[in-house]
Structure 1
């Protein structure tokens, strides 16, 4: 009985102690924070950096397996009762979802604005470092000294990184997938077509399937739903000429990015008073500061992720359970290109499953640099448990002057004050 009470008391202490310490730290910092900000933080749950899965482990299923089995049984039963039926609900019937077309256009515009803003910030405001032997990325002028390198000859360097200048692709990387001209009539790409079918960023393919027209990647737009005959998709829509199709279907308005297309940054420093010259649609130049540009870029990132999450509720996106391959469409492709765990048993094919937003837009977590004034001293390996992390885009925009999003405050550990290098062994 005493043992059980002791276990319960220790468990309660583990839960209450961090909350008491956090409240005490907020009280010591003063009453500069408003009640509204405290209520906003209380509404957002505590979120930490997700643990990276091991190479031999499969990604967790988004939908439980029992639910997937039940859906398959219901679909099989409906197919037996009515072998020939018209698919009524888009996008399974080949039509686009009407209320998601505007969402797809906003996601496409946010992606264009994100890439434009990141290019200008990386080139002139905040430098980016990348390890020469692994995929580690650091946002700042001086690379950190945290020993997490797993690349070539890392044992001889005590797992220290060898830094080199990075680019925008190191900050945000969009996985590529195969483009589907007809997502319902031919939903899969076979192995023989791997060099014939173009590949493009998965976010762009999701926007195209949701209703965005890109001239470089044509796609088939239907006006009538398709039929399902014993599980096979049959299209009875007659083929029309291009001129008639152009008269029938109206051309959607062009997507305009959230950031202006031409932004020239001149003499950008680390101070918040730096400005950039923005050319608006009328040809007039307007001044925009670096913090404003960072705030717009960060907002484009948040809009793109939230819009992609809405699109993924209707449009299927698949990912491999063992590698980062992504395919947008009703089914995954059959190209034998997987080199992850157990690929010999699958003959090189991917183990497809439902994807998440992080699979479509990888966050690429980096270490958060809290003290920008003392940035010349790199992050120490002994103090890594006191440092927080954030997606590379968020860290880059925050260092450029954008406000910290509420959803990432706990992940960045803004309420933790790390000790000095000569004091880390004195902290319990």
Structure 2
């Protein structure tokens, strides 16, 4: 058991090490003036669309034949495992913003990020936030922790039976880890938590899931473990279920000190002159707006203090083939702003539940694959990169909306672009 506990600690926190900080410290972003700008002319014409498609093909060297409509999806066999009663594809407008400059523990460089939405002003807002950030430097991002949970729940006649059961369970952690390895090539069982409510026992199995978002993977592994438990434990529960609705799956929860998917934090210091030129505001205006918004979140009992991370995540998830319902948990965020000794504005965001995948699910469908390839996030070894790009994107959106509200531009932007 001691060996397992040692492995658990290592697996949960091995993202934080000296090599990561050396990598972050040595990164020098390319000057903002050297980065290619997305063609913005003719926003609503076929000519403007062609300009942007040519930009992607020539400068980003990406294939966008399906996104452009030049090719049409017709591989119906590939839908197995993703949908039932298929009738066709819903078409959602997709654009790009950027470049988004990131100095992350995994994601490093500049990215032109695809976003799918029907909300006018959304891409303009994130594009403006990305511009303010890159003219101030790079957004620093660190992945802190990783884990995906299932919470099987068991009911007993009384507490004595529950106690015998849980004692047996805790003495078989190594067996459960072996069962996980037998069931999946990628899942690793890192932790087992116990929560007792009278004669109800909630177990929390926490796994890592490689480059898949992992919900199905951890469900199958947890089911294998639970069936082993039921067949071998000394006390049989009167009822059990694979999920007691305590894992945080597809819903906002107050468990911001834990993790679901990846726990990631990001920061940037915005220069006061950039705030003036790009955001048309001042550090003091943004800081006061953030304080008001932070207080409002607390007063209304919000889960987290973010303004609208779900906007970024929903648009990114749709474009890149993610489980959009996971914005329920993924959009939980703690944001912070502070004026430093130079009069510049320090901005930070921490998100404990960014659950994304770059293999499986909807990632291999044509337009979703093209979008993932635009940001070099398609395939094995890329899910951590996608998570860090996602939080950097969310930070640009928090900066942009807070500046718009603080300077009185919020309504005007929506009247101009959202009607």
Q: Is the pair's TM-score, using the shorter chain for normalization, greater than 0.5? A: no
Kindly indicate whether structure 1 or structure 2 has the higher relative contact order, using CA contacts under 8 Å at least 6 residues apart: 1
Based on CA coordinates, which of the two structures has the bigger radius of gyration? Answer: 1
With the length of structure 2 as denominator, give the TM-score of the two structures: 0.20
